[in-house]
A = this chain, B = another copy of it.
Amino acid sequence: MRADARRNVERVLKAAEELFADEGLSVPVDMIAARAGVGVGTLYRHFPTKEALFTAIVVAHLESLSARARDLAASEPGEAFFTFLREMGEMAARKRDLADILARAGLFTVETCPVKQQLQEQFETLLERAQAAGAVRPDVTGDDVTALLMGACLTGGEHGQPAADVMVSVICDGLRADHRR
């Protein structure tokens, strides 16, 4: 592989990471190329499609979350679940692409990236453990919680992340089983 080619891949990845995080997955390809200082043709030689590009980036985020979930699997069930939820919310509020991916299941890359599948399973395990321990109300599903969290991050993300903190904390409180009288 030629040296300038490798350098351009780096540039594109950097530009894409920044833009996806700030603007979400809907940012135009041309803009990413412009930010990277290359033409769209160059971008497309290294990434066959736009989806491939943001998959490459989002997978890293998903893996870091997945690793964190694995770590927390050993802690006390309730504590583990809520800690993970808070961290996931914080991350999603900062990276719009993450929120986009986690929220709109069918739109892009469902089975394309197995990491997402894996993360969802880990998340569900954390939730079920917390429910079994009586820390979380038993009638919510994993999808419910993700939707709640991502909704807060996506719609609240307009004004910035400070608001997301409050919303995540409201969600956490609402999920605690002992709050239902």
Residue of B nearest to A169 (CB): B174
- The answer to whether the Cβ of A139 comes within 8 Å of any Cβ in the partner chain is yes
- Majority-rule SS of A interface residues: helix
- The answer to whether the Cβ of A75 comes within 8 Å of any Cβ in the partner chain is no
In the complex, chain A residues 37-64 whose Cβ is within 8 Å of any chain B Cβ: none
Q: How large is the interface on A (under 10, 10 to 19, 20 to 34, 35 or more residues)?
A: 35 or more
Q: State which of B103, B137, B155, B179 has its C-beta within 8 Å of the C-beta of A147.
A: B155
| Chain B residues, Cβ within 8 Å of A137 | 170
> A148 and B143 in contact (CB under 8 A), knowing A106-B158, A171-B174?
no
Q: State which of B103, B140, B167 has its C-beta within 8 Å of the C-beta of A148.
A: B167
Work out how many copies of this chain go into the complex. 2
| Chain B residues, Cβ within 8 Å of A169 | 174
Are B156 and A144 closer than 8 Å at their CB atoms? yes
- The answer to whether the Cβ of A24 comes within 8 Å of any Cβ in the partner chain is no
- The answer to whether the Cβ of A150 comes within 8 Å of any Cβ in the partner chain is yes
- The answer to whether the Cβ of A152 comes within 8 Å of any Cβ in the partner chain is yes
Contact flags (1/0) for A145-176 with B, using CB distance below 8 Å? 01110111111101100010011011111111
| Chain B residues, Cβ within 8 Å of A179 | 173-174, 176, 179
In whole Å, how far is A164's beta carbon from the nearest beta carbon of chain B? 9
A154, B152: Cα distance in complex, Å: 10
In the complex, chain A residues 82-114 whose Cβ is within 8 Å of any chain B Cβ: 103-106
| Chain B residues, Cβ within 8 Å of A176 | 173, 179
A140, B172: Cα distance in complex, Å: 14
| Chain B residues, Cβ within 8 Å of A144 | 156, 163, 166-167, 170
Identify the A interface with B (CB < 8 A). Answer: 103-106, 137, 139-141, 143-144, 146-148, 150-156, 158-159, 163, 166-167, 169-176, 179-180
